[in-house]
Structure 1
Amino acid sequence: MENTLFDYSPITERPTISWPGGARVAVYIGLNVEHFLVDRPSTSIWPGTADLVPDALNYGWRDYGARVGIWRVADILDRHGIRASVLLNSAVAEHYPQIVKAGLDRDWAWLLHGRTNSILHAGMSLEEERRLLTEMADTVAEATGRRPRGWMGPGLTETFDTPTLLAELGFGYLLDWTNDDQPYPLNVPGMISVPYSVELNDLLLFDRGVTGPEFVQIVRDQYEQLRADAEHSGRVMALALHPFVIGQAFRAKYLDQALAYLAAQPDVWLTTSDEIAAHYQRTIGRPV
């Protein structure tokens, strides 16, 4: 079947995007703040035990992010005056309220990221999904005081109905389709796609054996190319982070170096995915 959610649009044939202050590249930090179930296989560092219950090795690796890594990452973001765009499992509000409070103190942006990253967003009827999305959005709104405007599914998963149901709930954008360097409209009224990255992503980069210094160079290379591409129309750079990966002690200084580089660039707009979506909808697309 053909994909009807969005149309093909070459980046060379679009309206010009102008970011605030004349910036060429809008940069946001997609910070995955997740909850995992102890009896379900999830993201793993060692597949040999992933099907065991309990899987102490992999569960403990993931749990490091909520217990230790997130606080290290928050300190680094603070050092460079960067607000996170938090991809939030709604179960985090119940299990780790201290993390939500820390984010509220820092005015982080909050996106809905499913309930738990141990369960993918798939295999539901329309009404079941509507109920689930409503419950999750209400949970995040109650915990943060703001209704989420953005969505990224756990494991970047969604159903064919997800974008329409999100629009019904007042969402304006999603991150699941990682196929562009600019926002673009979806064939759902009021909904757009905002770039996210499975390439510039600590989980996948370090799993491939990338070192800390190589990570810093990759961030620099990404920005430099996007800046060059943006001579006539703005681009988006998403840096995807997981506290149980980049929050490890031996990697923290490399995140610090990468963010120091980005914060020093004269043509960067260090912002949130919410602000990118709102600016695009206000100046190019249809506001929601």
Structure 2
Amino acid sequence: MSDRWPNGGQLACLITVALEAELGVLAADPSAVTRQKSLSVGRYGTNRGAERLLAVLADRGLRSSWFLPSRNAETHASLTAEVVAAGHEIAVSGLALEDFGTLGLADQHRCVVEARERIEQRHGVRAVGFRPGRGDAHPALADLLRADGFTWSSQLRGDDLPITLPCGLVELPHHHELDDAAYFAFNLDPAIPAGSPRIAPVGDVFANWSIEFSAHRAEGLLFVLDLHPELIGTPSRAAMLGDLLDLIVDAGDSWVATGDEIARWWLARDPAGPLPADHPIAVFDRYLTETR
């Protein structure tokens, strides 16, 4: 029995949902602003996909962490309220899916804090998790967010376990192979993503994710799913996700928790301290600091 996760759990599972809607389409290609067919791809997530996703989670009694740009929490207020009422965690992805790679530290910090304030004013929940909607966060942003009461972020890919940053913010790494966009993101005109159209067979994705889960479970790791309602929320894909979640629940030793719950558990076991100089995050932080 493992002592890494609560109650002898063999692995931790975090289900993250990015509620991007039309903003996701525009962030991928701003020229789509006048193209109703393209924008409707994003709207599918709020019109149909999110409801299916919420139902799949509710049927299994599972909670998840939803990343929202504050504009969507306002534009799609009733849906956001439904997510909150269902007990899911609300986390922040900026004001309107800004590209953080184009912003300085002060503007990045302003975007996150202002987005959290807007969501809290509208929905009465105070976000403690963060992921940039696009681009890379400044290395020093973690220190500022921890001082503001944030407990976790999920933006890097350099590990399979949580990482306690020196400031005490816990990074929950995620990977492309567990992101539905890597398999299902597609728009014909304008091409999104440019040059790499794909609509993967649903059965193949289930096979990939099942193998990933088994491998993560064997090593007692952190299994992070990245989902987008406009992608995973079609009838067949939602059903496939349900089958995957059944596999996770039926294993009997999976701790499915929110980002905040996982971060708080990990921080209690792994208090803040300096990272080794050769740690991937330390190396990446030096690179960003030198190139900004």
Same fold (TM over 0.5): yes
1:13-46 Cα deviation digits (max 9, x unpaired): xxx96111101110111111125349x83337xx
Question: Is 1:139 aligned to residue 118 of structure 2?
Answer: yes
Which residue of 2 is the match for residue 130 of structure 1? 109
Q: 1:92 aligns with which of 46, 49, 72?
A: 72
Cα deviation, residue 228, structure 1? 1.4
Q: Which has the higher helix share?
A: 2
Question: Is 1:105 aligned to residue 85 of structure 2?
Answer: yes
Which residue of 2 is the match for residue 225 of structure 1? 215
Query: Matched residues in 2 for 1:35 and 1:252: separation?
Result: 17
Q: 1:214 aligns with which of 204, 217, 230?
A: 204
Query: Matched residues in 2 for 1:92 and 1:264: separation?
Result: 34
Cα deviation, residue 211, structure 1? 1.4
Query: Matched residues in 2 for 1:160 and 1:181: separation?
Result: 20
Q: Is the 8 A contact 1:100 1:143 kept in 2?
A: no
Call closer, same or farther: CA 1:140–1:157 in 2, change over 3 Å: farther
Call closer, same or farther: CA 1:178–1:156 in 2, change over 3 Å: farther
Q: 1:199 aligns with which of 161, 165, 177?
A: 177
Give me the TM-score of the superposition, normalised by structure 1: 0.83
Question: Is 1:18 aligned to residue 4 of structure 2?
Answer: yes
Q: Is the 8 A contact 1:120 1:155 kept in 2?
A: yes
1:119-145 Cα deviation digits (max 9, x unpaired): 312333443333332211211222342
Query: Matched residues in 2 for 1:55 and 1:245: separation?
Result: 19
Which residue of 2 is the match for residue 150 of structure 1? 129
Query: Matched residues in 1 for 2:148 and 2:227: separation?
Result: 27
Q: Which amino acid aligns with 2:59?
A: R
| Unaligned runs of at least 5 residues, structure 1 | 1-15, 45-49
Which residue of 1 is the match for residue 55 of structure 2? 75
Give me the TM-score of the superposition, normalised by structure 2: 0.82
Which residue of 2 is the match for residue 8 of structure 1? none
Cα deviation, residue 260, structure 1? 1.2
Q: 1:31 aligns with which of 6, 10, 17?
A: 17
Query: Matched residues in 1 for 2:32 and 2:42: separation?
Result: 15
| Unaligned runs of at least 5 residues, structure 2 | 186-197, 274-292
Q: Is the 8 A contact 2:128 2:152 kept in 1?
A: yes
Q: Which amino acid aligns with 1:57?
A: K
Query: Matched residues in 1 for 2:229 and 2:236: separation?
Result: 13
Query: Matched residues in 2 for 1:253 and 1:130: separation?
Result: 38
Question: Is 1:180 aligned to residue 159 of structure 2?
Answer: yes
Please give the secondary structure, in 2, of the residue aligned with 1:63. Answer: helix
Q: Is the 8 A contact 1:17 1:284 kept in 2?
A: no
Which residue of 2 is the match for residue 66 of structure 1? 46
- Misfit runs of 4+, over 6 Å: none
Q: 2:27 aligns with which of 42, 45, 67?
A: 42
Cα deviation, residue 222, structure 1? 0.9
Query: Matched residues in 2 for 1:179 and 1:144: separation?
Result: 33
Cα deviation, residue 152, structure 1? 0.4
Please give the secondary structure, in 2, of the residue aligned with 1:107. Answer: coil
Q: Percent identity?
A: 23
How many corresponding residue pairs? 260
